[in-house]
Amino acid sequence: MTTFSSYIKSLRRKPAFRFIKRLELEFPFARIFLVGGAVRDIVLTRECKDYDFVICNVPVKKLQKFLGTLGRVDLVGRRFGVLKCIPKDARKELAQGFLEPFDIALPRKEAHILGTGQYRDFHIYSDPAIPIEEDLARRDFTINAMALDVRTGIVIDPFGGIADLKKKIIRTVGNPEERFSEDYSRMLRALRFAVSFGFAIEEHTARVLASSVHNLNREVDQPIATRVVPYEVIAREILRTFIADPLRAFDMYDAFHVCDTLIPDMIAMKGCPQPKEWHSEGDVWTHTRMAIRLLQSKSFIRACEKLAEFYPSVPCGITPTLIITLLLHDIGKPFTLKTPEKDGVDRVRFDGHDRVGADIARDTVKRLRLYTVSEIGVDPDVIHFLIKHHLLLLNSPEGLKNNTIEKYFFKNPLVGMTFLQLMFLDARASVKADGTSSLGLYNAFYKRLRLCMQRGGSRNALPKPILRGHDIMEVLSVPQSPFIGEVLLAVREEQLAGRVRTKKDARAFVRVRFRRVL
C-alpha cells in the first residue's frame, strides 16, 4: 500500500484547497479522491497545477449547490456530472497561473456504443455510488488510473500504475486493442506521454499502436463523412508532443508510422539524395532530423542568446512555429528533385523547392488544423513565409537590400527571430564534403544585422525613419501619390546603409535623386 500522507497534509493547508475540509464537514459520508494526472505527477515528484477530483456518495445537484457557496461553479459535463470549480480561496493562484480551475466529478462508467473508435462514441453515466475502482477502470493508461484518498493519503492503484511509473513504461488499462478501438486519439496520447516523460511504450501496447495508427484517418457516415478523430484533437496532440521533446517526438512518430498516416508528404524525404558537396550528412530525412536534434545543442543556445540583443521583447527559445517550420522546411525537395542520371543536370538539384515546400507546408498546417490549438497553435501563413524564404542568404548577405532586411527581420520581431533561428539550424545541419557546416553565410549576415543596429545608435533597434511622406511632398512640391512611397523606400535604404544620417542629408538626397524623375 502506497501512502502520501505528508503530501496530503501539506496540500490541505494551502488556501486554494480549503474547500476539501468544508466538503467533508458538509458531507461526512463523502469520499474525496484526487485522480488522474495529478496523482501521476505526485509519484513522479513533478510540479502540478491541474487537479481533478472524484467525489463519491454525494449527488451532483447537492454537490453543485454547495460548491456554489464557495466560489464559481459550472456544470460542464451535464450528461456525466463534471463540475468546473473556482473556489474564492483559489482565485489568486489561478490568476498567477499556478493553478487551473478544478474539475470535480462524480464517479463515472462508460460503454462504447457504436464501435467506430470515435472519441465521442461513448455512453457515459455518473452515479455517486459507483466504486472508485470502477471509475479508474475506464481510464486510458495505468499511470493515469490511480486515485489518492485525500482523507487518508492512501493511493488506490488497481492496475499497477505506480509499478509502471517505476519501470518507465506506458501501458493501457486492460487490452490495448479495446482501449484504442474505444478512442483512437489515445494512440497519440500514448506517444505524448512517452515523449514527455522519456518512457518506453510497453511491448504489447506498442505492437497494437503501430498496427492501428492508420485508424487516425478513419471516417464514419453520420450522415455525412465525419472523421473519427477530429483534426483539432490531432493538432493538440502533435504540438504538445513536439514541444515536449522535438527529437524524441520525431523519432517516435517515425517508429510508429504517424508521419506516414498524418503527413505522408514527409515520407518522400527518406532516401531523397542531396548533393554531397553541400549535404554529406545524408538524405533529406537525415538532414531534417539533424536540424531538429540541434534544437537542444549548446551552439543553438548560444546563437539564441546572441539573437536576443536584436529582439529584447521576444522570448528567446524554442517555439511551436520554429519546430513545425524546421520539420517541414525541406518537404518540397523530393517533389523538385533532379539528378544527373535522370534529368541530365550537372548535380543533384531541387530548383524551386523553397516555393513548392512552402505551399505543401501551408496546406499541411491547414489540413491538420495546427492553427486551432489555443496558445500554441501555428499560423500557416507564417510557416509559408519562413519556408518560402529560407534560402534567402544564398544570394549572399551583401546582395540583400537594407529595406528587405528590415521587412523580413524587424517588422515582426517574433517572425524575425524564428527566421534567423531557422537559418542557423538549417546551415548548422548542412555538412559540406570537408566536414564543416554551412554557417559562413549566416555568420556574415549576423554581422550585417549588428552593423544595421549600430547605425541606428542602438544595440537592439533600427533607427527610426528619418523622413515622412509630408516631408517628401514638401521637398519635391508634389501631391500625395504612390510615388511618395517609392521615394520613402529609397531614403530608408540610404539611411539603413549609413549614407544618410540627418534630416538635412535626407532632404538633399531626395532633391538630387528625384528632381530629374519628375
Note down pLDDT in tens along the chain; length 518 residues.
677 889 999 999 999 999 999 999 999 999 999 998 999 999 999 988 899 999 999 998 999 999 999 999 888 765 566 889 999 988 988 888 888 999 999 998 775 555 555 555 556 667 888 999 999 999 999 999 999 999 999 999 999 999 999 999 999 999 999 999 999 999 999 999 999 999 999 999 999 999 999 999 998 877 677 899 999 999 999 999 999 999 999 999 999 999 999 999 999 999 999 999 989 999 999 999 999 999 999 999 999 999 998 888 888 889 999 999 999 999 999 999 999 999 999 999 999 999 999 999 999 999 999 999 999 999 999 999 999 999 998 866 677 888 888 889 988 999 999 999 999 999 999 999 998 888 999 999 998 888 877 765 556 677 788 889 898 898 888 898 888 888 888 888 888 888 888 899 889 888 888 876 65
**290 and 437 belong to one structural domain:** yes
Written as nine digits, the cell of 417 is 527571430
The single residue listed with the C-alpha cell 457504436 is 114
Of 345, 347, 300, which Cα lies nearest the Cα of 326?
300
CB 380 within 8 A of CB 365: yes
The single residue listed with the C-alpha cell 470549480 is 85
- Which pLDDT score is estimated for 56? 94
**497 and 353 belong to one structural domain:** no
Domain-located, residue 464: no
Domain-located, residue 289: yes
CATH of the domain at 153: 3.30.460.10
Domain-located, residue 20: yes
Domain-located, residue 410: yes
Q: How far does Cα 160 stand from its chain's mean position?
A: 31
170 beta partners: 201
- Which pLDDT score is estimated for 38? 93
**250 and 155 belong to one structural domain:** no
**146 and 223 belong to one structural domain:** no
Written as nine digits, the cell of 114 is 457504436
CA atoms of 143 and 37, how far apart (whole Å)? 8
Distance spanning both ends of the chain, measured CA to CA: 90
- Which pLDDT score is estimated for 394? 82
Transcribe 436-470 into DSSP letters. -BS-HHHHHHHHHHHHHHHHTT-SS-PPPPS--HH
- DSSP H or E segment with residue 203: helix 203-212
CB 130 within 8 A of CB 108: yes
For residue 113, the SS3 value is coil
**206 and 68 belong to one structural domain:** no
Written as nine digits, the cell of 476 is 519635391
Domain-located, residue 73: yes
Boundary of a domain, candidates 262, 294, 323:
262
CB 353 within 8 A of CB 336: yes
CA atoms of 62 and 46, how far apart (whole Å)? 34
Domain-located, residue 462: no
**228 and 103 belong to one structural domain:** no
**328 and 450 belong to one structural domain:** yes
Boundary of a domain, candidates 262, 278, 294:
262
**329 and 352 belong to one structural domain:** yes
Of 377, 374, 286, which Cα lies nearest the Cα of 330?
286
Half-sphere exposure of 126 (CA within 13 A, CB side): 20
CA atoms of 217 and 229, how far apart (whole Å)? 7
Please state the domain count of the chain. Answer: 4
Domain coverage including residue 30: 5-167
Burial of 118-144, coded b for 16+ CB within 10 Å and e otherwise, reads beebbeeebbbebebeebbebbbbbbb
CATH of the domain at 257: 1.10.110.30
CA atoms of 192 and 199, how far apart (whole Å)? 10
- Which pLDDT score is estimated for 115? 54
Half-sphere exposure of 381 (CA within 13 A, CB side): 0
The single residue listed with the C-alpha cell 514527409 is 266
Written as nine digits, the cell of 315 is 522570448
Domain-located, residue 461: no
Written as nine digits, the cell of 295 is 534544437
**238 and 312 belong to one structural domain:** no
**45 and 156 belong to one structural domain:** yes
**110 and 178 belong to one structural domain:** no
Tell me the residue type at 408.
Answer: Y
CB 503 within 8 A of CB 491: no
CB 235 within 8 A of CB 324: no
Tell me the residue type at 214.
Answer: H
Boundary of a domain, candidates 410, 432, 455:
455
Q: Indicate whether this model's pTM tops 0.75.
A: yes
Written as nine digits, the cell of 285 is 530525412
- Which pLDDT score is estimated for 123? 62
CA atoms of 250 and 326, how far apart (whole Å)? 11
Q: What angle do CA 244, 245, 249 make, to 5 degrees?
A: 105
HEC readout, 129-152: CCCHHHHHHCCCEHHHCCEEECCC
Tell me the residue type at 366.
Answer: K
Domain-located, residue 437: yes
CA atoms of 94 and 315, how far apart (whole Å)? 23
The single residue listed with the C-alpha cell 542602438 is 458
Report strand pairing: 200-201 vs 169-170.
Answer: parallel
**450 and 480 belong to one structural domain:** no
